[in-house]
């Protein structure tokens, strides 16, 4: 298959912001692909060669890509610098220079998908002292045969800038439209939620139809999208919602880990499907030791503890995210895992079992040790019992409690946030709400001391219905000097020329970013806003919801991607919760 057909689809997607139109472009294209090619096209459309959780990155530095582009287009280094300063996107530069290329090699051949995959794989695997030269060679070899549009996407893929605006939800819509019906969409989404592999789901669907997708199972090695909790402002309300009786567990403040345990190996994944095994090798080994089953997938929270075993705040466990000096970090920052769920036990899919059965299974197949423990849990059927348990949790330095439904419907809902789990935190007692995890979509230059630097950020939530990012606040408080100075390093790779089409905004920042970085923010109140676009026209015509007095907490949520940041619907339900509170 020709790569030009794929680049053409990317190009058409990039100029539309309508999710319906994207779906129809993609489904029309997907229908005619063979299952194997479809799988690869799906990965490429997300800027990858594999699913996210493989952790393999093409990761070519911008400079290296620019050198390849300069080489094949014959422009000088100084001209390249000029273009780089103006454009800041190697894809755009490559496209521009190839449009103006005087002559194309006589030996040039149309690029095929096969050749693109081969060379990208070589780039990914290049190792050793001359790895940079090799990467340049493989990329130049592709660019030689590229049209300007093909070059734009190749350069974006290798530098990790591939954002055509079709997120995983749009891809699932398109797959359902191409190979099934609207009614099949939930089954296709479930397959994605239990495998985290959109390419695999697409291949199975194109090969065996929806029936084959329904048979896909939870497996060790494929991370499962995590189940998430709703929030309510008081313990009596939680009990009401849970029909008067529920389980309560301590809510630990650490890093959520999903452990995939097989006979002789253990892999730990973050909730963003990053491989965390090398950050917690001691926990991985101990889980294998204490697990009596051959295979299991469990979830728990990794928390840093002091020498007496007392819980330490979240920041302490992040020391384990270092790349070097792990042996010392293990000694200096002891960690425990508190297990709270089991999703697979000896090849049996536990996600379809109610909570109580899962908990019994978890307790049945693990022995506890100092490092591997279960979350503290109690069954609660009266508000006073709940309040007492909450105080106990705070006394042990936990964030609050997690209430869990004991009903027969309380299965593990991969990838969904619902009232089967309800969180209640200390913050809810003091301020109006929970903290907000928001994604950065723009920045404003500062004044005075902050002149010439980013002084404030435009922050957005994810709107699951439209697949867009909608603004909720301009954030200029809570930053210290060091954080502000580091902002260009953190954000400039995601600079966008103009407003990215997946961002809905009326406010105009000085620069725009592709939604990528997620920051934790607290606020005094959620209010109706004439300028912000979150939940627009829902509570009131021509008004959205915005945050009053937002402040950065200092926590960068690098465990969350933009699609995992807070959703517009969550902000809306928090607004409603706040309104009830005031009544
Ligand atoms: P938060 O920022 O409040 O942790 P979140 O958006 O990351 O919220 P939620 O579903 O809202 O996720 O809250 C559940 C999170 O709490 C889990 O992702 C997990 O990391 C953590 N957690 C701590 N203790 C427990 C527990 N006993 N059961 C489930 N999750 C727990």
- What's 412's domain CATH number? 3.30.470.30
- pLDDT value of residue 109: 85
Are residues 326 and 306 part of one domain? yes
Specify if 504 maps to a domain.
yes
> In whole angstroms, how far apart are CA 191 and each of 184, 199, 257, 482?
11, 11, 21, 43
Residue in 228, 434, 462 to alter for ligand 1 test, most ligand atoms within 8 A of Cβ: 228
Specify if 494 maps to a domain.
yes
CB distance 199 to 39 below 8 Å? yes
Percentage of residues of the chain with pLDDT beyond 90: 72
Neighbours of 101 (CB within 10 A): 14
- pLDDT value of residue 147: 93
Residues 388-397: pLDDT tens digits? Answer: 999 999 999 9
Residues 170-222: pLDDT tens digits? Answer: 999 999 999 999 899 999 999 999 999 999 999 999 999 999 999 999 999 99
Does position 512 have pLDDT exceeding 90, yes or no? yes
CB distance 113 to 41 below 8 Å? yes
Percentage of residues of the chain with pLDDT beyond 70: 97
Helix (H) / strand (E) containing 377: strand 377-380
Does position 581 have pLDDT exceeding 70, yes or no? no
Does position 376 have pLDDT exceeding 60, yes or no? yes
> In whole angstroms, how far apart are CA 472 and each of 104, 481, 523?
49, 24, 11
Ligand 1 centre distance from Cα of residue 363 (Å): 20
Are residues 450 and 403 part of one domain? no
- pLDDT value of residue 510: 94
- pLDDT value of residue 449: 74
Ligand 1 centre distance from Cα of residue 372 (Å): 18
Are residues 378 and 322 part of one domain? yes
- pLDDT value of residue 189: 96
Query: What does the alpha-carbon distance between residue 541 and residue 530 come to, in Å, rounded to a whole number?
Result: 10
Contact partners, residue 223, CB within 8 Å, separation at least 6: 53, 196, 258, 260, 269, 273
- pLDDT value of residue 579: 73
Does position 65 have pLDDT exceeding 60, yes or no? yes
Ligand 1 centre distance from Cα of residue 423 (Å): 8
**Which two tokens mark 344?**
């697979």
8-state DSSP, 99: H
Ligand 1 centre distance from Cα of residue 421 (Å): 10
Angle at 404 between CA 574 and CA 341, to 5 degrees: 120
Residues 457-488: pLDDT tens digits? Answer: 999 999 988 889 999 999 999 999 899 999 99
Are residues 440 and 354 part of one domain? no
Domain containing residue 545: CATH number: 2.40.50.140
Residue with tokens 């001691």: 282
Domain that holds residue 575: 436-582
Q: Supply the residue whose CA is at minimum distance from atom 7 of ligand 1.
A: 228
542-551 exposure pattern, b = at least 16 Cβ within 10 A, e = fewer: ebbbbbeebb
Specify if 185 maps to a domain.
no
Does position 318 have pLDDT exceeding 90, yes or no? no
Does position 433 have pLDDT exceeding 80, yes or no? no
Ligand 1 centre distance from Cα of residue 323 (Å): 25
SS3 332: helix
Taking phi first (over 0 means left), then psi (-120 to 50 degrees means alpha), and beta for anything else, what does residue 102 get?
alpha
Minimum-distance ligand 1 atom for the alpha carbon of 229 = 10
Specify if 466 maps to a domain.
yes
Whole-model pTM?
Answer: 0.82
Residue in 250, 251, 375 to alter for ligand 1 test, most ligand atoms within 8 A of Cβ: 251
Question: Helix 148-158 crosses helix 90-99 at what angle (to 10 degrees)?
Answer: 160
- pLDDT value of residue 503: 93
- pLDDT value of residue 102: 64
User: Which of 118, 137, 159 is the last residue before a domain boundary?
Assistant: 159
Question: β-strand 296-304 against 246-251: which pairing, if any?
Answer: unpaired
Work out the pLDDT band at 377, boundaries 50, 70, 90.
Answer: very high
Does position 294 have pLDDT exceeding 90, yes or no? yes
Angle at 20 between CA 17 and CA 24, to 5 degrees: 110
Ligand 1 centre distance from Cα of residue 211 (Å): 34
Residue in 269, 301, 380, 394 to alter for ligand 1 test, most ligand atoms within 8 A of Cβ: 301
- pLDDT value of residue 317: 85
Strand locations in 446-535 (E): 454-463, 468-475, 495-496, 503-504, 511-513, 518-522, 525-529
Residue in 252, 257, 302, 418 to alter for ligand 1 test, most ligand atoms within 8 A of Cβ: 252
Work out the pLDDT band at 429, boundaries 50, 70, 90.
Answer: low
Are residues 349 and 241 part of one domain? yes
Does position 322 have pLDDT exceeding 70, yes or no? no
Minimum-distance ligand 1 atom for the alpha carbon of 231 = 11
8-state DSSP, 376: P
Are residues 408 and 327 part of one domain? yes
Work out the pLDDT band at 137, boundaries 50, 70, 90.
Answer: very high
- pLDDT value of residue 488: 93
Are residues 443 and 351 part of one domain? no
CB-based pocket (< 6 A), ligand 1: 228-229, 249-252, 256, 271, 301, 340, 375, 402, 423
- Which stretch of 308-312, 329-333, 567-571 has the lowest confidence by average pLDDT? 329-333
Work out the pLDDT band at 340, boundaries 50, 70, 90.
Answer: very high
- Which stretch of 44-53, 79-88, 560-569 has the lowest confidence by average pLDDT? 79-88
Work out the pLDDT band at 496, boundaries 50, 70, 90.
Answer: confident
CB distance 439 to 512 below 8 Å? no
- pLDDT value of residue 155: 96
Question: What is the set of active-site residues?
Answer: 251
Neighbours of 402 (CB within 10 A): 24
Q: How many domains does the chain have?
A: 3
- Calculate mean pLDDT across residues 369-376: 97
Domain containing residue 67: CATH number: 1.10.3260.10
- pLDDT value of residue 583: 58
- pLDDT value of residue 304: 93
**Which two tokens mark 489?**
């390093």
CA 466 to chain centre: 17
Are residues 417 and 479 part of one domain? no
- pLDDT value of residue 308: 85
- Which stretch of 120-134, 439-453, 500-514, 518-532 has the lowest confidence by average pLDDT? 439-453
- pLDDT value of residue 339: 98
Specify if 570 maps to a domain.
yes
Helices (H) and strands (E) in the chain, counts: 20, 21
**Three-state SS annotation for 409-471:** CCCCCCCCEEEEEEEEEHHHHHCCCCCEEEEEEEEEEECHHHECCEEEEEEEEEECCCCEEEE
Minimum-distance ligand 1 atom for the alpha carbon of 564 = 6
- Calculate mean pLDDT across residues 130-147: 94
- Which stretch of 79-88, 161-170, 322-331, 553-562 has the lowest confidence by average pLDDT? 322-331
- Calculate mean pLDDT across residues 426-455: 81
**Which two tokens mark 502?**
């997946």
**Which two tokens mark 192?**
């994605």
Q: Supply the residue whose CA is at minimum distance from atom 24 of ligand 1.
A: 251
Are residues 472 and 337 part of one domain? no
Minimum-distance ligand 1 atom for the alpha carbon of 417 = 10
Are residues 550 and 522 part of one domain? yes
**Which two tokens mark 8?**
């053409």
Contact partners, residue 27, CB within 8 Å, separation at least 6: 173, 174, 175, 177, 178
Helix (H) / strand (E) containing 5: helix 3-14
Specify if 251 maps to a domain.
yes
- pLDDT value of residue 19: 87
Work out the pLDDT band at 321, boundaries 50, 70, 90.
Answer: confident
User: Which of 159, 179, 206 is the last residue before a domain boundary?
Assistant: 159
Query: What does the alpha-carbon distance between residue 381 and residue 46 come to, in Å, rounded to a whole number?
Result: 47
Residues 11-55: pLDDT tens digits? Answer: 999 888 888 999 999 999 999 999 999 999 999 999 999 998 988
User: Could you tell me which residues are beta bridge partners of residue 311?
Assistant: 305
- pLDDT value of residue 323: 62
* Dihedral over Cα of 525, 526, 530, 532: its sign: positive
Specify if 20 maps to a domain.
no
Q: Supply the residue whose CA is at minimum distance from atom 4 of ligand 1.
A: 253
- Calculate mean pLDDT across residues 362-372: 97
User: Which of 404, 430, 456 is the last residue before a domain boundary?
Assistant: 430
**Three-state SS annotation for 154-200:** HHHHHCCCCCCCCCHHHHHHHHHHHHCCHHHHHHHHHHHHHHCCHHH
Specify if 7 maps to a domain.
no
Ligand 1 centre distance from Cα of residue 427 (Å): 14
CA 123 to chain centre: 25
Query: What does the alpha-carbon distance between residue 429 and residue 75 come to, in Å, rounded to a whole number?
Result: 62
Are residues 273 and 238 part of one domain? yes
Are residues 490 and 391 part of one domain? no
Question: β-strand 348-349 against 335-345: which pairing, if any?
Answer: antiparallel
Of the two residues 386 and 316, the one the predictor is more confident about is: 386
Work out the pLDDT band at 576, boundaries 50, 70, 90.
Answer: confident
């Amino acid at each position: 298959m020709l790569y030009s057909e794929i680049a053409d689809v990317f190009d058409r997607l990039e100029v539309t912001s309508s999710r319906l139109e994207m779906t129809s472009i993609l489904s029309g294209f997907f229908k005619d692909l063979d299952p194997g090619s479809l799988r690869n096209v799906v990965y490429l459309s997300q800027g990858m060669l594999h699913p996210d959780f493989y952790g393999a990155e093409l990761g070519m530095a911008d400079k290296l890509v620019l050198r390849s582009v300069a080489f094949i287009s014959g422009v000088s280094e100084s001209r390249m610098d000029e273009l780089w300063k103006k454009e800041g996107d190697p894809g755009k530069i490559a496209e521009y220079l190839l449009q103006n290329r005087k002559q194309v090699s006589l030996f040039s051949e149309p690029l095929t998908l096969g050749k693109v995959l081969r060379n990208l794989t070589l780039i990914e695997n290049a190792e050793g002292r001359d790895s940079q030269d090799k990467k340049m060679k493989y990329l130049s070899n592709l660019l030689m045969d590229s049209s300007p549009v093909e070059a734009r996407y190749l350069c974006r893929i290798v530098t990790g800038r591939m954002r055509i605006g079709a997120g995983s939800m749009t891809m699932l819509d398109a797959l359902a439209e191409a190979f099934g019906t609207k009614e099949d969409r939930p089954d296709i989404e479930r397959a994605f939620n239990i495998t985290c592999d959109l390419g695999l789901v697409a291949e199975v669907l194109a090969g065996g139809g929806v029936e084959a997708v329904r048979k896909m199972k939870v497996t060790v090695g494929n991370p499962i999208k995590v189940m998430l909790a709703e929030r309510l402002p008081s313990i009596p309300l939680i009990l009401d919602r849970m029909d008067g009786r529920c389980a309560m567990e301590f809510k630990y403040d650490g890093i959520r880990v999903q452990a995939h345990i097989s006979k002789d190996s253990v892999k730990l994944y973050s909730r963003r499907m990053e491989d965390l095994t090398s950050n917690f090798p001691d926990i991985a080994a101990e889980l294998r030791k204490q697990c009596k089953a051959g295979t299991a997938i469990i979830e728990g929270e990794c928390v840093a503890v002091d020498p007496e075993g007392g819980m330490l705040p979240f920041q302490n466990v992040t020391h384990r995210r270092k790349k070097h000096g792990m042996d010392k970090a293990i000694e200096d920052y002891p960690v425990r895992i508190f297990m709270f769920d089991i999703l697979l036990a000896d090849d049996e899919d536990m996600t379809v079992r109610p909570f109580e059965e899962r908990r019994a299974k978890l307790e049945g197949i693990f022995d506890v040790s100092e490092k591997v423990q279960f979350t503290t849990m109690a069954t609660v059927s009266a508000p006073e019992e709940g309040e007492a348990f909450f105080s106990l949790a705070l006394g042990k330095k936990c964030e609050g409690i997690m209430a869990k439904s004991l009903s027969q419907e309380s299965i593990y809902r991969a990838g969904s946030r619902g009232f089967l789990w309800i969180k209640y935190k200390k913050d809810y007692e003091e301020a109006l709400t929970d903290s907000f995890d928001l994604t950065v979509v723009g920045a404003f230059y500062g004044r005075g001391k902050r002149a010439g630097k980013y002084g404030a950020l435009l922050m957005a939530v994810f709107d699951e219905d439209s697949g867009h990012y909608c603004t909720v606040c301009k954030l200029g408080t809570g930053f210290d000097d060091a954080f502000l100075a580091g902002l260009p390093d953190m954000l400039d790779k995601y600079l966008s020329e103009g407003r990215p089409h997946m961002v809905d905004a009326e406010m105009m920042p000085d620069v725009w970013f592709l939604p990528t970085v997620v920051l934790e923010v607290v606020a005094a109140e959620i209010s109706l806003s004439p300028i912000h676009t979150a939940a627009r026209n829902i509570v009131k015509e021509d008004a959205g919801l915005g945050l009053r007095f937002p402040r950065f907490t200092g926590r960068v949520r690098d465990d969350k991607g933009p699609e995992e940041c807070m959703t517009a619907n969550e902000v809306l339900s928090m607004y409603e919760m706040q309104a009830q509170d005031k009544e």
